[in-house]
Amino acid sequence: MAVVVRLPAVLRAQAGGSSSATVEGATIGEVIANLVTAYPGLDGQVLGDDGALRRFVNVYVNDDDVRYLQQLGTKVDDGDVISILPAVAGGAG
C-alpha cells in the first residue's frame, strides 16, 4: 500500500525539506519504519526508544487519531493520508 505522509515544518529539515512523502506499508508501524529508512534524520522524532509513538506526537490517518484506533497496528489503505503532528511548545519565558 502506498500512502502519503504529511510532514509538518518542524520535521521537514530531517526529511530533506519535503512537506510530504509517499511511503509503502500496510500499517502505521510499517509506514513509519519505511519513512525512517528513507529519512534517517527522523529516527527518534516519532517513535521512542521503546518503539511506541512518542507521547507528544499525534498521528492521524485521514483525520482519525491512531491512538483511538490500533495505534501502530492501525491498518492503512492505498491512497490514505497520514499526518504526523508533534506538539510544539515554548515561547517567551
Q: Is the pLDDT of residue 10 over 80?
A: yes
Give the separation between CA 48 and CA 4, rounded to whole angstroms. 22
What are the cell numbers at 48? 521512542
Mean pLDDT in residue range 15-21: 94
Give the pLDDT score at 93: 62
pTM reported for the whole predicted model: 0.90
Q: How far is CA 37 from CA 9, 24, 58, 83, 91, in A?
A: 20, 11, 20, 18, 33
Q: In the CATH scheme, what is the homologous superfamily, with its name and number, of domain 2-86?
A: Beta-grasp domain (3.10.20.30)
Residue 91's pLDDT band, with cuts at 50, 70 and 90, is low
Q: Looking up cell 504529511, which residue turns up?
A: 6
Residue 17 is predicted with a pLDDT of 95
Position with higher pLDDT, 90 vs 83: 83
